[in-house]
């Protein structure tokens, strides 16, 4: 690490962004000794309308929440020993949660792209959108690959449970290495906690909220048909059972058995495979419009995790129903919210 070069870069970043504030007349930056983690800290004196404002600045090499939380605690200790001083955290990029932690703690922040929240005395500046780089973007993207999603389904379907790596890998049907990778990402996001008992999901709302933004039921292969059979649900279940194929009532069809919100005269179901043979056996007519039967060939077998048997029919899990409904245009989002309020929220609140 080129310390002198990094030092100049930080000082230029501070000077540029602080002097851009009209009320600030001067900026005096004094580096302090490196801390044990190698981050350069600075004491900054601002000249503001004839008064001096002191800033305690800590520079982080990583903007993850756990490091920001540690920095906030350290800055608060320093501020207790000083009068008329304020804290400022600088990092290459800050997670959304990191920025929220700073706001809650009354600590200003600044990233290398110039995104900031600077609040001290009678000065308040907030800038966002200077870069489309979100440090959590890469982490989140890697969570929504099919096999990684299997782990998320297991965590969301078992409120309050702690998982050892091997047990979670078996339950999700993935490798131990995949569990370890996902676990590290979730720890960085502070969505899980790790203890001697194993990994436990603690930020289930944040996970589910983010997953639904990155999910669409159209990831599955969709086949549309028309049927004159009023008992098509039972017939589909019978055919799949005879062929030893997994199936699950999905979207509005599944939700009608779990948390009925609106009645839609259309069958939605996941079918493991052999849709052509099944449609032929059920005498389904392929159509481009006006379908009343939609069969989904799963993009991954994880959609079958946590199936429920209700009225003799296999129903997709509440988490799967929620994700699929939320991405369905029309009344899907309303039905998803109703299912969330009636099933998912009470399930997690009880644990």
> How far is the C-alpha of 67 from the C-alpha of 78, rounded, in Å?
17
Element (H, E) at 130: none
**Interval 122-136 mean pLDDT:** 71
Residue labelled with tokens 């955290």: 89
**Interval 283-308 mean pLDDT:** 95
In 166-208 the beta strands, taken as DSSP E runs, fall at 192-195, 198-201
> How far is the C-alpha of 292 from the C-alpha of 226, rounded, in Å?
5
**Per-residue pLDDT for 133 more than 60?**
no
Choice among 65-79, 121-135, 235-249, 319-333 with the minimum mean pLDDT: 121-135
Q: Structure tokens of 270?
A: 């996941």
What is the dihedral sign for C-alpha 329, 330, 334, 336? Answer: negative
- Classify residue 305 as exposed, middle or buried by CB count within 10 Å of its CB (0-12, 13-18, 19+): buried
**Per-residue pLDDT for 134 more than 90?**
no
> How far is the C-alpha of 351 from the C-alpha of 121, rounded, in Å?
43
Asked whether 154 and 163 are in contact (CB, 8 A), the reply is: yes
**Per-residue pLDDT for 36 more than 60?**
no
Give the Cα-Cα-Cα angle 68, 73, 76 (nearest 5 degrees): 120
> How far is the C-alpha of 30 from the C-alpha of 18, rounded, in Å?
15
Residue 246: other Cβ atoms inside 10 A? 16
The larger pLDDT score, comparing residue 136 to residue 290, is at 290
**Interval 273-288 mean pLDDT:** 93
**Interval 258-272 mean pLDDT:** 89
Q: Structure tokens of 307?
A: 């199936």
CATH for 136-213?
1.10.10.10
Residue labelled with tokens 């290459």: 92
Could you tell me where in the chain the CATH 3.30.460.40 domains are found? 217-349
Q: Which CATH architecture has domain 3-127?
A: 3-Layer(aba) Sandwich (3.40)
> How far is the C-alpha of 44 from the C-alpha of 112, rounded, in Å?
18
**Per-residue pLDDT for 2 more than 90?**
no
| The pLDDT of residue 38 | 41
DSSP 238-274: HHHHHTT--EEE-HHHHHHHHS-----S-EEEEE-S-
| The pLDDT of residue 138 | 61
Asked whether 334 and 262 are in contact (CB, 8 A), the reply is: yes
pLDDT digits 0-9 by tens, 143-191 = 899 999 999 999 999 999 999 999 999 999 999 999 999 999 999 889 9
Residue 276: other Cβ atoms inside 10 A? 12
pLDDT digits 0-9 by tens, 166-178 = 999 999 999 999 9
| The pLDDT of residue 242 | 93
Asked whether 134 and 141 are in contact (CB, 8 A), the reply is: no
pLDDT digits 0-9 by tens, 64-121 = 888 899 999 989 988 888 877 899 999 988 888 899 999 999 999 999 888 889 988 7
**Per-residue pLDDT for 285 more than 80?**
yes
Which residues face 163 on adjacent strands? 199
The CATH number of domain 217-349 is 3.30.460.40? yes
3-state DSSP helix/strand/coil percent for the chain, to nearest 5? 45, 25, 30
Task: Kindly list the distances between the CA atom of residue 62 and the CA atoms of 65, 90, 98, 242, in Å, as whole numbers in the listed order.
Answer: 9, 10, 10, 55
| The pLDDT of residue 80 | 86
């Amino acid at each position: 690490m080129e310390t002198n070069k990094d030092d100049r870069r930080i000082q230029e970043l501070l000077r540029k962004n602080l002097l851009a504030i009209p009320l600030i007349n001067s900026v005096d930056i004094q580096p302090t000794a490196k801390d044990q983690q190698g981050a350069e800290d600075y004491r900054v004196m601002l000249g503001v309308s004839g008064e001096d404002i002191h800033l305690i600045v800590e520079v982080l090499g990583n903007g993850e929440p756990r490091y920001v939380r540690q920095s906030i605690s350290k800055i608060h200790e320093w501020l207790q020993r000083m009068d008329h001083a304020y804290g400022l955290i600088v990092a290459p990029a800050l997670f959304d949660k990191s920025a929220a932690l700073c706001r809650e703690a009354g600590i200003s922040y600044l990233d290398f792209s110039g995104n900031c929240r600077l609040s001290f005395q009678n000065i308040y500046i907030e800038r966002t959108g200077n870069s489309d780089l979100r440090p959590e973007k890469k982490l989140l993207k890697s969570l929504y690959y099919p096999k990684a999603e299997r782990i998320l389904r297991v965590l969301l379907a078992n409120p309050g449970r702690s998982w050892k790596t091997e047990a979670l890998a078996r339950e999700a049907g993935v490798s131990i290495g995949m569990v370890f990778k996902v676990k590290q990402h979730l720890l960085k996001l502070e969505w899980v906690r790790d203890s001697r008992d194993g990994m436990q999901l603690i930020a289930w709302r944040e996970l589910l909220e983010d997953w639904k933004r990155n999910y669409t039921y159209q990831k599955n292969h969709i086949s549309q048909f028309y049927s004159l059979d009023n008992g098509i649900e039972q017939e589909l279940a019978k055919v799949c059972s005879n062929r030893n194929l997994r199936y699950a009532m999905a979207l509005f069809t599944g939700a009608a058995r779990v948390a009925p919100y609106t009645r839609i005269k259309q069958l939605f179901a996941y079918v493991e495979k052999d849709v052509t043979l099944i449609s032929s056996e059920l005498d389904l007519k392929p159509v481009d419009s006006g379908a009343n039967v939609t069969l989904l060939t799963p993009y991954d077998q994880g959609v079958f995790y946590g199936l429920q048997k209700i009225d003799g029919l296999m129903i997709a899990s509440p988490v799967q129903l929620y994700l699929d409904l939320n991405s369905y245009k029309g009344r899907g989002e309303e039905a998803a919210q109703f299912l969330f309020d009636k099933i998912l929220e009470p399930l997690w609140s009880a644990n």
